[in-house]
A and B are shown apart, each in its own frame.
Chain A
Amino acid sequence: GDSVTQMEGPVTLSEEAFLTINCTYTATGYPSLFWYVQYPGEGLQLLLKATKADDKGSNKGFEATYRKETTSFHLEKGSVQVSDSAVYFCALMIYNQGGKLIFGQGTELSVKP
């Protein structure tokens, strides 16, 4: 079945370090791909998205490119801040399956000053 696999956390970085959180997926159809962020004690916020192969989603300095050949959607940021500390979820959606989101297990990021 469809699934999403993320790198395990927690990931601990110093401020201004480069961030990569790996995400790979398995899907029978043509999914849209998303990154959601969950700050401590809060809900899920859409961070960025890509709807087809080679699309790049970007927001708040974060980027991810939809790579169909490697079935990946890795999240990157060039210089993280303490305020980026959160849990990041990769997810896929196949719209003609009713729009169900399938999430990865989440990766906790902790950025130290």
Chain B
Amino acid sequence: EPEVTQTPSHQVTQMGQEVILRCVPISNHLYFYWYRQILGQKVEFLVSFYNNEISEKSEIFDDQFSVERPDGSNFTLKIRSTKLEDSAMYFCASLGWAAGDGYTFGSGTRLTVV
């Protein structure tokens, strides 16, 4: 069964440093997403990406965040200057064309900002 792959599984970074979280979505999917889950809390939408541009973003997704699909396979989330409150599990997901299919999520990257 096709998978969404995320790397690394765990990233520790110092406050103020830039981090890039990487995802390889399912190859024939068209929509790509990043979600965040702070420990013990609900899963929150960050951004959706379609046709090489952001289609929607939440208020969490401020100027410190950016996404890119540089080569047609990878889908990255960059945080320019990490803050302690960015510590969370970050999930990438992709969606095919069928409306009711539901997403395929990656296994997540746990980001710890110290």
Contact = CB atoms under 8 A, between A and B. Distances in A.
Interface of A: 32, 34, 36, 42-46, 49-51, 89, 91, 93, 95, 97-106
28 contacts: A32-B99, A32-B100, A32-B102, A34-B102, A36-B105, A43-B106, A43-B107, A44-B91, A46-B102, A46-B104, A49-B100, A49-B101, A49-B102, A51-B99, A51-B100, A89-B43, A93-B102, A95-B99, A98-B31, A98-B48, A99-B95, A100-B45, A100-B56, A101-B33, A101-B35, A101-B43, A103-B42, A105-B42
A101 B56 CA distance: 12
Contacts of B104: 46
Interface residues of B, number: 25
A91 to B, nearest CB: 8
Interface of B: 31, 33, 35, 41-45, 48, 50, 55-56, 91, 93, 95, 99-108
